[in-house]
Amino acid sequence: MPERPYIPARPTTYQGIKMRSRLEATFAASIPSHFKWEYEPMCFASGKTQYLPDFKLVEEGHEDTPDYVEVKPFLDDPEPLQRRMAVIWDSEPDARLVIAVPGKAPMIGELGHWS
């Protein structure tokens, strides 16, 4: 498989929040109004691994089941994110990880299940 070119992220401010990339700001702008969201809400750590998801989304009426979103310009292999998600499941077993890639259906991961 050919190596992807490195394209540096462009920090962008959206609703007064400085985000690491335009892609993240574009994603934030697309979040439906019935979701509350936080940008880089907290860093999860366990053993030798830590993980800082891009967003935490909470749908109204479903406050006990947060979704963490990782926004990527492309995704060749979800396995590294799956390993990091295990760190979140240690403290929030009902959480889901959504991998958002422009132009592709989201990959949604729950404990022991990926689609």
CATH at 64: 3.40.1350
Prediction pTM value: 0.81
For residue 3, being part of any structural domain is answered with no
Show the domain range for 16: 12-114
Question: Taking all residues of the chain, what is their mean pLDDT, rounded to a whole number?
Answer: 82
Residue 93 lies in a domain: yes
Burial class (CB in 10 A: 0-12, 13-18, 19+), 21: middle
Confidence of residue 113 (pLDDT cuts 50, 70, 90): very low
pLDDT over 60 (residue 112): no
Residue 7 has pLDDT above 80, yes or no: no
| Residue 1 included in any domain | no
92 part of a folded domain: yes
For 15, left (φ over 0), alpha (ψ -120 to 50), or beta? Answer: left
What pLDDT, in 10s, does the model give residues 55-95? Answer: 999 989 988 888 889 888 877 777 777 777 778 877 777 78
**Statement: residue 16 has pLDDT above 80:** yes
